[in-house]
Structure 1
Amino acid sequence: MSTMNIRTPKFYWSQNSTIAYKDISHIVTLGDSLDNKDDVADVSPERAEAVSDNTAASKKYDRLIGSIEYPDGNDTLLYPVFRVLNSLTTTKQLVHILHFGDSQIEGDRVSSYLRNQLQKKFGGAGMGVIPIVANGPASLPYTYEISSGWERYSAQDKIKKSDNNHYGIFLSYYKLKSSVVNGTDSFSGWVNLKWPNTRNPLIARFTNCKLYFGNVTAPFNVELVQNDLVLNKRTISKSSAFDCVTWKFKRSEKNLYIKLSGTESPDFYGVSLTCDSGVSLDNVPLRGSSGLEFTKADQLFFKRVLKDLNVKMLIMQFGVNVVPYKTSNYSFYEKSLSRQLSFLKSIDRNLQIIVIGVGDAARQTENGIESYPNIEKIRDAQRSAAFTNGCAFWDFYEAMGGKNSIYSWVHADPPLAQKDYTHMTRAGARIAGELLYRAFIEEYTEFSTNENRVKS
């Protein structure tokens, strides 16, 4: 197992600074125990749950884990999710966990590490659902290209309005522009995914590819092409509100070219790369969002999407975009976030949600680089909204080290956060993913102990 060789941070103290920055040596040293390649032995996705994880490694760091918190008297909130995960080896179902967030999770940050650990423990392979038109720039373990002509309709877009609010998990859908050819409206376009040699075999070892669509008003053609050879061609003349085309492979493909044509474009919702069973953790970055757009989606349609994807849990990681709004009271944000959580819980009362509190962020003051004074107020508003709606909460701010810890993350060696004193680097995102995973597995272990005690 290779390591990142994360060393004790080099602090750059300002001579005039009166701020006490946090010593996070114990956190950055945690990086040395991580599986840097997100790698596992060469086993089938269905048997990946048999691969041992490193949760038990470096026990001396267990004190760093910020435990998941629950509303009073509801510390078994996640037990239904744990029971589903335990059953995967026998039920052979594919379970989706959606990781929503702002720009902190762009480029599969945090999600990639969390996904890999969950798939190693509970089975599964592939990246999950991928948007057709990305919400922002991303660095991903594959080459993703699309043709011209794609348009994105998003719940975040205040100008380009949707005519039906039938948004998929990315709170958006995508259409291909039509043009007049020989006096007839028509559209054509494509999506191309290419996989280089990735260090993570579980990501690249999907056996199913699905194209999600809906709102079919006219027949359209779907072709799967490889090396200029059409492997499969279908004409879709009608569909349910949320539907998909599925291609199955005996082995993972490194180049998927999906060609689309017709007279009027349906709504497309994304492409998924998964296997038949296990865990699919889907990275859903919503750049610029504070997590307040979910109620813009048609509730019945969104319910259908979550049901068809077999979504059992949501992870909500927002807050960065609230920080610039300085006020003495964040009850407005608590109420707005509470409304979103209530909307999601009303879709499926069995849907479990973990709200992740905002991390530390800082700005220049006359004293030096100092945490924003409103971070803890925003964190408290998130926790209160979570508990009001029967959701779990994980305090990332405290897990980072608390007030003024972001400075230490920026000046660690290698850096764990970027010089904007807000966003994590990939190295920092891996540690964040490990801290969250350990908190989750800590609860799972307690659940397993309790379940075994009841059986005995």
Structure 2
Amino acid sequence: MTEPDAQTEPPTTGDALRHLAVVAVTLVAFAVATYLVPAFADMRPWVPGEPVPLASLFTPAEELFAFAGTGNTGEAVSGDASEELGAAVAANLGEEDDTDAEPPEDRVRIAPSEYAGIETRIEDPSGRGMAPFYAALRRTALEEENALTRITHYGDSTIATDLVTHTVRRRMQRRFGDGGHGFILVSKGYLPYRHRDIVHRASDEWSLREITRNHDPAGLYGLGGIQFRGAPGATASFATVDEGPVGERVSRFEIWYQRHRRGGDIHFYVDAGSRQVLETRSEVTADAVHRIDVADGPHRLRVQFGGHGQSRLYGVVLEREGPGVVYDSIGLVGARAARLLNFDAEHVAGQLERRGTDLLILGFGGNEASDAIQRDRYEEDFRRVIQRMRAGREDLGCLVFAPLDQAERDSRGRIQTMATMHDIVAAQRAAAFASGCAFFDTWTAMGGEGAMETWYQSRPRLAMADFRHATPAGYEVIGNLFYKALLAGFAEHLGDASDR
């Protein structure tokens, strides 16, 4: 029989401290190694530019919960917001609730206070990009009979829900007159598409042929880049709003569609009126517009598939006689600028000419930020897009609207501006100037590199968690900045005109 082992001595406090010291030294050694061995760089506990570890434990609570104002409250923006977001962004955050304000008696005079609070202005070194638009806007401001100024803004998901564009539309229409809502697609289909200051509904029976997917070999997509084909049960309605700062009245509807050999009927109803039939069959394929005049006031148009063939619709326009401003928002979800090359050149030129557009805006680049961009090639492609859309017309104003900051998380989880942004913005500016177009540097206006991180961390939050899109409050800021830039440019144009 063996003797039992001696009883093990319990660990002492000294032993515990020695073990803790070993662990601490090991951790410190590993931390130091991350700075000495490049392969361990992502494991470094801290790098310049990051908050000091555990510093938040010693931050006063009032600093943790400070925020940069709230949207549409009319509250003054704090000095902290100006420091965090930049003076221009902070000055245009959640402000400009001028829906009850009366337009100035002298609409031609632009007071400096109307465009105060911006740092980024429209760049137009040739003067050719904005001249047609400013000339049209001057006629509107002078309240000449039937003087409508029309803007057609193409873009990606930044404008697909009409947040940037509806901000500018509202403010332009309050300032210069409500010329009507403008062009709207027949249906949103499966796309996140929505317009403000209009009542728009559509059934699910419409099929979409999209320019972004190059569905139509002939390139006949209509002004909005989507051709809609009806089926039994397909219906859509377009109406003025019951109450709002704009959008309460309309004096004409236009149905934009295609005539072709297998064309079917389109039925439409105005208000509670009887059915009217629009036949679209023709031996020659051609674009067409059917105009419906109504007494200026609240109205509703309903269109539906009428059978007897295939109906192909592009969209509906709501306008008034003027004077006023019309702002078409054409958001193509997921689009890159080069997708516009899928338009048949003659077709899109005819659509823009028929629309009477005074300023063509091209706002792309957000989706391209994920691509392997070669600056020279991208610039060349963008110049081709401008040529396709403007078709060499000097009477058509042209402006390139740079993308918002695009960001992603790096290997350390930090939010970083995507490396392609510099090349995209530089290439777009160069393409615009080479084509006689103006340029608005949206990226710089919102703060430039690192802006998406700042916007995401601000309160109210101005950027979405995907770091590619803004929140409604953020899009409102962009809309305010762009509206004021348009006013500043117009004021300069009026000054130059008075000197001649």
TM-score range, shorter chain: 0.7 to 0.9
Selected match of 2:253 from 206, 209, 213: 209
Could you tell me which of 389, 401, 405 is aligned with 2:451?
Answer: 405
- In the aligned structure 1, how far is the partner of 2:129 from the partner of 2:239? 40
Decide whether aligned partners of structure 1 residues 188 and 444 sit closer, same or farther in structure 2, where only a CA change above 3 A counts: same
Does structure 1 conserve the Cα–Cα contact (< 8 Å) formed by 2:167 and 2:480? yes
Deviation (angstroms), 1:198: 4.5
Offset from partner CA, 1:165-194 (integer Å, 9 cap, x none): 2221211211113xxxxxxxxx55321235
- Name 2:268's counterpart in structure 1: 223
Q: 1:58 to 1:99 in 2, by over 3 A?
A: closer
Q: Please, what is the CA RMSD of the aligned residues?
A: 3.0
Report the equivalent of 2:54.
none
Task: Tell me, in whole angstroms, the C-alpha distance in 2 between the residues paired with 1:167 and 1:443.
Answer: 33
Q: Structure 2 unaligned runs (5+)?
A: 1-71
- Quick check: 1:124–1:275 contact (8 Å CA) kept in 2? yes
* Structure 1 residues 250 and 293, CA gap change in structure 2 (3 angstroms): same
Of residues 248-257 and 161-170 in structure 1, the stretch that sits farther from structure 2 once superposed is 248-257
- Which one of 304, 319, 332 corresponds to residue 274 of structure 1? 319
364-373 or 390-399: which moved more?
364-373
User: In the alignment, which of 227, 230, 237 is matched to residue 173 of structure 1?
Assistant: 227
> Contact 1:48–1:119 at 8 Å: present in 2 too?
no
Question: Are the counterparts in 2 of residues 143 and 195 from structure 1 also a CA contact under 8 Å?
Answer: yes
Q: 1:100–1:4: structure 2 CA closer, same or farther, 3 Å change rule?
A: farther
What is residue 133 of structure 1 aligned with on the other side? 187
Deviation at 1:282, TM superposition (A): 0.5
- Indicate how the Cα distance of structure 1 residues 242 and 54 shifts in structure 2: closer, same or farther if over 3 A, else same: farther
CA distance in 2: counterparts of 1:162 and 1:34, whole angstroms: 43
Aligned amino acid, residue 56 of structure 1 = S
Alignment of structure 1 residues 34-183 onto 2, 5 Å: 34-35=96-97, 38-39=99-100, 41=102, 50=107, 56-57=113-114, 59=116, 61=117, 64-71=118-125, 74-75=126-127, 77-88=129-140, 89-134=143-188, 136-141=191-196, 142-158=198-214, 161-177=215-231
Which residue in 2 is equivalent to 1:233? 276
2:460 is aligned with 1:420: no
Q: Is the 8 A contact 2:136 2:147 kept in 1?
A: no
Q: Which stretch of the first structure deviates more once superposed, 206-215 or 134-143?
A: 134-143
**Percent identical residues:** 21
Output the CA distance in 2 between the equivalents of 1:393 and 1:237: 40
Instruction: Name the counterpart of 1:369.
Output: 415
Provide the secondary structure at the position in 2 that maps to 1:67: coil
- Is 1:325–2:371 an aligned residue pair? yes
CA distance in 2, matches of 1:209, 1:413: 42
**Greater share of strand:** 1
Alignment of 1:248-267 (within 5 A): 248-253=293-298, 255-267=300-312
Residues 77-115 of structure 1: per-residue CA shift (max 9 Å, x gap): 422221122123225143421111111112102111111
1:345–1:29 Cα change, 3 Å = closer
In structure 1, the gaps of 5 or more residues are 12-20, 178-186
Give, as a single letter, the amino acid of the residue that structure 2 aligns with 1:164.
A
Equivalent residue number for residue 89 of structure 2: 27
Give, in whole Å, the separation in 1 of the partners of 2:392 and 2:381: 17
Q: Shift in Å at residue 326 of structure 1?
A: 4.2
Work out whether residues 95 and 309 of structure 1, in 8 Å CA contact, stay in contact via their aligned partners in 2. no
Structure with more of its chain in helix, by fraction? 2
AA aligned opposite 1:138: Y
| 1:58 positional shift | 7.8
Q: Which has the larger radius of gyration?
A: 2
Shift of 1:75: 3.4
Displacement of 1:49 after TM fit?
8.6
Shift of 1:435: 1.0
